Structure 1
Amino acid sequence: MKPLLAIAALAFVATPAIAQDDGSELPDDVQTAIVYGDDAAPDCPDGMICVVARLPENDRYRIPETLRFSTDPENTAWSKRVESLELIGNFGALSCSTAGAGGFTGCTQDLIRRAYGEKKTSEAVRFSDLIAAAREERLAEIDENAADEQARVEQIEREYLERLEKERASELPDEGADDLPQPADQTGPDEG
């Protein structure tokens, strides 16, 4: 009885595997491609599985996302590497330490660096902020004053043009010169 149950169990387990096999083998060759924007996908040769990923056009010349956020030490920026080297060897010349020759020479630089750091984070009066606020106020007043000034200039120009028109329309002093009496002949003391 036990061998009969074992044969029935094997037949039951093997049935789904037989049902899935259609006799053709799937190829193991896979071709992948990345297509940007509206570019056409490459042709897929017979007997290959082709996978095409479509990305936006603005990603064409960007660094791939897998490389953008890598934590690999080889991808560390030089500025970070130099910063780590500065922290490792913080002694000697320009270091503001008692260890090594010339350690005192960096104390002034360290003092200046700390002073600017405190100034940046302090709650004290910041003249740069005050100057920026005063500039904003002045620019707002300039816009208001500019309109008034423009109106005054246009009024002065209109008055000037009106005066010119009146002067052009008025009689010239030489026009009535024919009606004037002729001056008398005068003889000078030498003519006599």
Structure 2
Amino acid sequence: MTRLPVLALILAGSALALPAAAQDTAVEGEKINQVIVYGNDKCEQSSPDEIVVCNRLPETERYRVPQMFRGGSVLDPRNQAWANKVVALERVGRFGTDSCSPTGLGGFTGCTQALVAGAKAERQAADKTDWQTMIADERAKRIAGIDAASDNVEAAVVAEEKALQERQRRAAELEARGGAPADTAGDPDATPLPVPPPR
């Protein structure tokens, strides 16, 4: 009877700790959207105020219960599909060639195929999404884009400053020679103000 309140307190404490752990990875003022897409679905593009990270799963996972709610390991016999259990039952009485059993003629054969199938099942079971790495990659792409944009702006500002200095130099030369006024001499597009007619 006393175990239930203690278990409830532990679960409540762990539930409160999850949002804090998720916030540790985000930069202040940065919004991160983690999306799961299936098959050939389109992944949203990141916007200037939001990083979108997509995890692509096969089309067969679209209508399944999410992996985190399936419980336990995929290799746990309780989580195996009935078809796999039937195959396992078929192997119980199998012996001889390609059976990988100590009984029957050629029972030693077939062990390599069994090892390969087991390794493939373990690899598929251990295939997990690394959201942290995906977010870091997306953040690096965004920073590279911001750096490139700032370099372009800086180059435009430097070019504009050089053009302004050149115009001022030409205007000073014209004014020194007694030409047009300094405010319009260096700018070929500048037009003189109209003179009002006499009264």
TM-score, shorter chain, exceeding 0.5: no
Larger Rg: 1
TM-score using structure 1 length: 0.31
TM-score by length of 2: 0.30
